[in-house]
Amino acid sequence: METTEMVESARDVDQTARLALMQMVDDFSSLYYKKAEGENENSPFRFQGGKEAEGEGGTVVEFASTSHLGFDGSFPNLRINRVSYVLEKQADDQKYYRLVRMELPFADLSGEREETAVELADTVESLTLTYLNEDGETLSQWDSKAEETAGILPRLVHIRLQLAGEKSRVFATTVAIQSQEEEGGRK
């Protein structure tokens, strides 16, 4: 591979990582949480994450957020969306995953709504999220319905994204959770 091609390939990987991490940071920064008594397993406000996607695909994290991908120019956004990040196996190349952002609009309303999916990256080797609790402990999983983390959110989310290119590259960032909350709880 020529030097020019190597530089272009590295630039493309950098651009993909930058855009994917920027979207994830925006979603986590706009996280919305509503603590409810008797909240069921399918609550649209449930924060659930921690699947390490080293060897298998699936949902990595899901939560409610006021962030959205709409291009209608409406600001501020007053709707609450259910956002999920999913790793899907590549059909033609079993080595890599596609990172897909799923968005279900108006998650707090009943009725039929159309979920949208946007591919953020297509050469993902791994995506790992870790969570920091109030005591400074790092956890690999977080569930706002689980006994040890019931009704609370992590203080920080560390995102580690590994993308393939000319050679494998790791990109990482950390997001402080400053959620919009209702009915008490940390802000």
Kindly state the percentage of the chain with pLDDT values over 70: 80
Type of residue found at 112: E
79-126 per-position pLDDT tens digit: 788 999 999 988 776 789 999 999 988 766 776 778 899 999 999 999
Least confident of 18-32, 37-51, 126-140: 37-51
Which tokens go with 161?
Answer: 């994204």
44 Rama sector, left if φ>0, alpha if ψ -120 to 50, beta otherwise: alpha
Looking at residue 185, its pLDDT comes to 43
Looking at residue 37, its pLDDT comes to 58
23-38 per-position pLDDT tens digit: 999 999 999 888 765 5
Q: Where are the alpha helices (DSSP H) in 109-164?
A: none
First to last CA, the chain: 51
Rounded Cα distance between 43 and 145, Å, is 10
Tracing tokens 């009943």 back to the chain, one arrives at 110
Type of residue found at 41: E
Averaged confidence pLDDT in the chain: 83
The pLDDT-based confidence of 45 (bands split at 50, 70, 90) is confident
- Please compute the mean of the pLDDT values over residues 49-54 and round it to a whole number: 63
- Please compute the mean of the pLDDT values over residues 30-47 and round it to a whole number: 76
Residue scoring higher pLDDT (180 or 14): 14
Looking at residue 187, its pLDDT comes to 42
Do residues 51 and 59 touch, judged by C-beta distance below 8 A?
yes
Concatenated DSSP letters of 48-78:
EE----SS--EEEEEEEES-----S--SS--
Calculate the alpha carbon distances from 109 to 12, 24, 33, 133 in Å: 39, 24, 15, 30
Q: Tell whether the model's pLDDT for residue 128 goes beyond 90.
A: yes
Looking at residue 74, its pLDDT comes to 54
The pLDDT-based confidence of 50 (bands split at 50, 70, 90) is confident
